[in-house]
Amino acid sequence: MDLVSQHELGRRRDAGILPVGFRDHDAMEWTRIRRIVYQVQQHFRYRYAAPICNLRQRLVVVPRPVHGNQRLLSHRVEVSQARLRKRTRADRFGNVVVGISIPEVEEAVNFDVSLIVERLTDQGPHLEAVTGQALDVYLLPSALTRPDAALRAAAAELTCSVETAADLASAVGGWVYRRMSYGFDRTGVGTTAGQALAAGHGVCQDYAHVMLALCRLLGVPARYVSGHLVGEGGTHAWVEVLQPVPGQAVEILAWDPTHDRPADLRYLTVAVGRDYRDVAPVSGTYSAPYPGCLSTARRVSVAQVEHEAPAALIAGLCE
């Protein structure tokens, strides 16, 4: 039986991996920050009606080691079972995938993830080395971004309003933001971009899928991003538009259509792919005739902050 991949809000559960004072992100001067360190704690619990066997769990919850100006400083994945096998590998998109095999679970299994992640602001544009073949993957429709007539009509409407990749990210992201309304429990992990647009509502995953479908229709490669947004309860999704630059490289332009803004220091990237199916945080299979019940909890805390010196102070030092 398949385990369902999903996001749910749960009660906070602290892993306590970094003994520092946490900061109020609402009171922070984000425009003056040059370095910030986050602590992320996630808890996943699967409960079953009776014992299960042959559990094969896939976790995509550990960030890529380096992603632009973001760097993974440390991480830990703990499992509440004594008998298990754990293997970490990189998938075709460069994401960290943790595979866990457990022969038997009596009642429940817990997965606890602890991360320390750093972001800097003085690294210049986010560039990635990429081959033409790899870039083509983000131009093709995927299972959840396959276009329909309404999406094609929207792309035709947007064609005349964009010239650069930056313009496209803003124009398409803004178009999606204006035509969608945010709402829980109206869509699921299998909802396509066309279905979400027809309904006119959804969650961040749906906003991202609609934006991806439009970017690809416009001939611009774009990819789905799974990660965290400081101040929000669950995991978050947004889009990266890929702009080719001289040489085998692309410039990454990250845009959040759910909030209609660039993805700034408040965003932490975990994984990228063609759509949600490539980067589902938890998924897997097991042997039993009954479903499991998933509950989750998450906390993102600001652990350290370094600010730019005020302009007046810099001017005084130079005199």
Structure confidence by residue, pLDDT tens digits, 170-224? 999 999 999 999 998 889 999 999 999 999 999 999 999 999 999 999 999 999 9
Q: Classify domain 2-122+280-308 by CATH number.
A: 2.60.40.2250
65-92: average pLDDT: 96
Instruction: Please write the tens of the pLDDT for every residue from 4-55.
Output: 332 222 222 233 223 334 455 666 777 789 999 999 999 999 999 999 999 9
Q: Return the pLDDT at 32.
A: 85
pLDDT surpassing 80 at residue 150: yes
Q: Return the pLDDT at 237.
A: 97
> What's this model's pTM, rounded to 2 decimal places?
0.87
Instruction: Please write the tens of the pLDDT for every residue from 231-268.
Output: 877 799 999 999 988 887 899 999 999 999 999 999 99
271-288: average pLDDT: 96
Report the distance separating Cα 106 and Cα 104, nearest Å: 7
Q: Return the pLDDT at 5.
A: 30
Q: How confident is the model at residue 314 (pLDDT cuts 50, 70, 90)?
A: very low
Q: Return the pLDDT at 312.
A: 45
Q: Classify domain 127-278 by CATH number.
A: 3.10.620.30
100-122: average pLDDT: 95
Structure-model confidence comparison of residues 125 and 97, the more confident one: 97
Q: How confident is the model at residue 310 (pLDDT cuts 50, 70, 90)?
A: low
Domain ranges (residues) in the chain: 2-122+280-308, 127-278
